[in-house]
Every structure is written in C-alpha cells, then in structure tokens.
Amino acid sequence: MNITRKDIDNLNTVLTVEIEKDDYSGKVDKVLSDYRKNANIPGFRKGHVPMGMVKKQFGKAVLVEEVNKILQDSLHKFLTEEKLDILGNPLPKNEAEIDWDSDNYSFQFELGLSPKFDIDLNAKEITHYKIVADEEMVNNQIKRIRKQYGKLVSKNEVETGDEITGTFTSEEKEIEKKSSFSTDDVDGKAQVEKLLGAKVGDTVTLKTKGMFADDHDNQKYFGVSHDDAHGLDIEVTFKIEEVNTREMAELDQELFDKLFGEGVVTSEEELKSKIKEDAENQFAQQGDQKLLNDVIESLIENTKFELPTEFLQRWLATAGESKLSEEEARAEFEKSEKGLRYQLIEGKLRSENKLQVTFEELKDYSKNMIRSQMAQFGQLNPSEEELDSIAARILSNQEEVERLSEQLNANKMLNFFKENAKLKTKEITFDKFIKEAYA
C-alpha cells in the first residue's frame, strides 16, 4: 500500500491511496473462511460448503468491506502522522471509476487544508463596559421593594399607581375576563385618564389598541388567543370591582431580614450598598458578554485568511443526511463562514496559549457550581466527599459535560481577552449601556 500527496495550492491537496492484492487478500480469505464455517446452505453440511460457492456468494461484498477498512485506517494514520490540519472530511474523487474486478485499486481524495494565519489581538481597541447602578436606579429598586412588601389597602376611587381588579367584556371577541393590573401598567395618557377618578362599581369603555405596551399582555388581561392579541383593536368595557393601593413598607430591620436573612443588612445605607452590589454583579455578566461578542467580531474582521471555499461547498453538499444542491451548499457555506473563521481563530489561540479545558478544571468548576447552589439553600459547608460524589454524577452525563465545558471554555477565553486584548474601560449606567451597546 502506498499514499502520495499532490498539493493543488496552499489550501487544497489530493491524496492517492494505492492498495494492492497483498494488502487485503489475507483479510478477505480469513473472513470468507469464517463464513464457510458458519454458513447454512441447503444441500451442504455446516462447515462443508465449497469455498468457490462462498466466494461467489459473498466474495465481492467482503472484498469491498475489507478494502474500505484498510482505506479508512490508512487515511487516518497518514493524516495523523503527517499532522495535516484539514477542514471537513476527505472527499472521494474517483469513487465511480473503481473497478472491483481488478486486483489493485487506486483511490483519490480531495482535502481542504486549514489556512495559516497570524492573530493580532491589538488590531482594534475594544470597549469594556463597567455598568454601575446609579443612585436613581437604587432608589427606584427600594421603592419597588417597599411597594412589594407593603400592605394592600382597599379604597373606593382610582388614583395614580393603584391596583384595579375588574372584568373586561366584549361581545365582538366574546371576552369576559377578570383581571388585575396597576394604572402604571396602562400605556397611553387617554386610557389612564378614563380610569383615574372611576369608582368601585363603575363601568368604563376602553380601547385595546395600545392599552398595554406589549401586545402579548392582551392575552393575559383580555384572555384572547395569541393570534388575536397581536394588533387587537376593539373597544371593551371594564367594570371596576376592587381598587387597592399599596402602603409602602417601612425600611426597618424586619424588612431587611426578609430580604437578605437575619442581620445581614442593618441600615438603609447598608441596604443601598447591598442593592448596588447585587445589581452591579449582574451587570458585570452583561458587560463581559458584550466584551466577548465585540472581541470575537473584531478578530473575525481583522484576521485575514483564505478558505478552501469550493471544497467546503462540495463537502457541505454531501455532509448532511440529505444532499444539497450547489446553490443550497453555497448558501449554507455563507451562513456558516463566520462561525468557521472564529472556530479556526479560537482553536489557534487555545493551542498557542494552552487554554484547553482539562478534566480536573471541569471537575473543580462543577464543584464550585454545586457549592454555590447548596449555599442558596443554607448548606454552607458541604464536605469534599459530598461535593466529589455529586460532581461525579453530573460528569457522568455527557450532555452536562458538554454544557459545563462550553461555559468553562467561554470563561477561559473571556479572561484571556481581558488580559491580552487592547481594551478601554468605560463606566456607564445600565440605561445608557443598553442605548449605546445595542443601538
């Protein structure tokens, strides 16, 4: 057996695998001999079927199977030994031309090679947003908390901020739905004005169009279907049955303990500090995700290299369960090209900077995750034996291993980018971050 390589260019090569009779004949004869021992053919005792008959019946199929095994093994060995970094899988080039009645075979395979390229992490300065919870946000959160934990006080007349319970009706859409909402939930000044000053027992007529900011709320409050909820534009009557206002909860130790546990927070200043800290911890994840996305986009944009495009399109045409047309394969390549480019860039960064995830790292990561989850339920000091046992169960599930590996891989890349990419830190409020980062 012999394998030769002919490079077409830097990204495409053809392998020719020559398989001779001596390479496969012994394996074929052994398989046929085993067939003969076990064959049940009418008119012959088991194990006494003439070899000529066995060859006639099974010879060609066994030959093809054994030659293909040698072919696949030799290809794999060659690619490994030559350290060829290929994209996709080898594509048979002369499959239809093989004459299985001859003794020697020559197989050709097209290969798409991974390109060589350099990565410049400093090609573009990336903004790393540090999102802060400003005083207005903290104070608004305190108001929501005080309202949520406050007392519900019944009243007779609707005022701004009150919670109203009543029944919506409409003959046109067969609506008869009891709902509760706050005047703050209602969108549109005209609609709110119809409710303000109304009393328990009153019936007001309202327009559904734009009454709530999100059309999906029409399902919740009017009880209509998902399809009807979108763009619902009818008049409904609303009979007010109950009006309540929230009496704000006092900022006292009882409320602090309800929110954070006994003695964790002991003053209004500590409450503000805690709310700010918790909010900014959550915001940090959003800032990091934005950073990761921006660095990836920059790397794809600024790392220039060619791909074996025609080869990849041909490979995509045959790689799935069903074959694709040339046009479909081209569209599929265009759709996946960015992802492939980053996959190559990320692979190079991981290899050159030893960023691969080890099993021990994965185990430690899963144990930290378990420890954090247990702490939420008051189990603050689990034993190492207990953590090891739970981690072992988690890591025996392949889907969990893939999910945790993906998270840990992303964390490693994020930390690497923070240390090595050209970054500028920008402090910004959450509202401004949303406007600036996702405009």
| In the chain, where the domains are located | 2-113, 151-247, 266-437
**pLDDT in the model for residue 269:** 95
- In the predicted model, residues of the chain with pLDDT beneath 50 are none
Tens of pLDDT, residues 305-334: 999 999 999 999 988 888 999 999 999 999
**pLDDT in the model for residue 91:** 95
| Residue of 335, 280, 46, 306 lying closest to 141 (CA atoms) | 280
Give CA–CA dist 436/428, Å, rounded. Answer: 10
266-437 is a CATH 1.10.3120 domain: yes
Tens of pLDDT, residues 246-260: 889 999 999 999 998
In three-state secondary structure terms, 423 is: strand
| Residue of 130, 428, 135 lying closest to 272 (CA atoms) | 135
The mean pLDDT of the chain is 92
What is the spatial order of strands in the sheet that 86-92 belongs to?
2-7, 12-19, 105-113, 86-92
Give CA–CA dist 184/206, Å, rounded. Answer: 16
Q: Decide: 47 and 37 in contact? Cβ < 8 Å.
A: yes
Q: Which residue intervals of 306-437 are DSSP H helices?
A: 309-319, 326-353, 359-376, 384-395, 398-420, 430-437
Please give the single-letter amino acid code of residue 339: G
**pLDDT in the model for residue 54:** 81
Tell the CATH topology of 2-113.
Alpha-Beta Plaits (3.30.70)
| Residue of 385, 356, 350, 351 lying closest to 370 (CA atoms) | 385
How many residues belong to the chain? 439
151-247 is a CATH 3.50.90.10 domain: no
Q: Decide: 366 and 405 in contact? Cβ < 8 Å.
A: no
Q: Compute the 3-state secondary structure of the chain and give helix, strand, coil in percent, each to the nearest 5.
A: 50, 20, 30
Q: What is the DSSP letter of 39?
A: -
